[in-house]
Structure 1
């Protein structure tokens, strides 16, 4: 695609990157065929190709409007288009650049600003979020349906974690909302890994991965959280920790981006690259281990929802399904398994109507094989899908831990 960036755009910290991405697009339109919002709305500007044109116009100095902002806001950043694209267009990076420029030019209405600032104030703080979740459960009968749907229907309390006793050790990103919404997920992970001879070393200083801030266009704040995590993990990595394990694929996708996002930071570029290289989704650790040692026995019939951050961002589509099949679980077929469920971080709150439509479509596909339970690998997807009150949704590692001898 030919470009003629304005002088102002060329001076942006990521101006050269934006121009390179724009030029890699051959505007073939294959991306629209797999874009969830384009499929729902049928508007060229609500598909990747249209959004790329909008960002190109903005970076070439054309007028920026609230309409431009709306079409960019509607993007889930599911990255399905990147999986489909024959030219390797790094659409999500271009979107980050475009959104920052548009938000700087177009003030948001007060209601939107309050929602976004509220999310940034609450979601990245695990203790505060957990406290509010517990309070919400107490007053659940009084809450409107929209808020009830955000609370877990059932949440297993966290079981005791095994002591750190093995020579093989990994770190684990605990997450922001997962300890409040699904408190046993990380404990189950520690117990399964312990059975395989791997101990989880807790690093309490590590906090939010930074994705919430970054994707709500507080990009520098998101990167500052990344730097703090790198500082927290670095001594343990130097001491021999094998990996930084993520049980939420959304967090994992962002941690794997640290190296790219901090490549121009002289103090952190090298460390960020190392952290990204050693960041592993849980399935990347388990699939190379002797799974028969777990002694799993289950006749559970389940459907697996592969989160976008696992299949499109981390390119691990099919990996969890392979592990679950090796362990003896019966998996049902899921039509259109590449499509987003509509959770997409905070999307279910910032774009609730589109999010619910995508959720209902996804549940219909997941339930087509009549599973007893739906498994997934990301707390956002888990809460969003389970909030419909239909087939129960749980993290896959909890199902594995339940079935261990």
Structure 2
């Protein structure tokens, strides 16, 4: 029988514009891990194994050496934008399988300014070449110099053509997430914009303006995952949050069969991961109160409403019409500000989502607290593709 798994400590740095702070990976790791250990009230010597996520070359061992050199296994994890959640998944697996009572998940990134490219290095095969080829073959579109906005922008265009959503729906999501971030001291941006500001911002790839796109960011986040036995030994039940379900799904041939941009950007793997995680946690989407969702672009947030089962296929924009995904609605989605406003240091994003939801379920989220939150869901996707969905509940 699998062990129950719990988050007992979380910590993160403020997410920053690349180059705005003079720091290196070990500095980031020391700050984030130090906060997570202090949150849990345990020493680094109690950590039995660590998984450190980075997409841009940070070695886990070197990143953690400033925190401590205890001889434990340290694995470096890379899985596109789902890198952080993949490190968390592996930490949970170690505890769930009885291989460790205390595992550390760390995510970190130092990024370059500007839009993400299609891959790293000189190889003709990149992490998203299959996706880009399928997108271009399916429609009369040429490859844009900024492939990520194009892929998600085309998914938004497809949704508008098929189901009647409009640019205003996507703009509202950008407006919402920037508004939410005002109360998040860790967010890269903490400025509220008007809806017209969002709509009239620089067009990146129609219908997505700059204020509907996640920025490149520097930062780190960490989470301590432990067993029930560890909770008992250290009397940590009062602050523990259970990871009640966690699943990672990847693409199937259906992702590319119809050259649908909605499918290409991860609808299918999001749907499968969500169903599996909620089944393990024994909840439905209607039980969920608060969601941290991978809004790399506003179009992806709307499409993911449907993948998670919050709305029927083709009806995600109705949740925008009803303002169902902000305070006062059925769910609060991205109270942190999401990737659009909090920032998106690739390796850290998934664990920062975990931190936000841990604070929400503890009632420690300050001005962005979702009242009465009891069930939380995390969605983190990386094209190439991997989608991680986790469900959290207060420990009991």
* TM-score computed with the length of structure 2 as normaliser: 0.32
Greater relative CO (CA pairs within 8 A, separation 6+):
2
* TM-score computed with the length of structure 1 as normaliser: 0.31
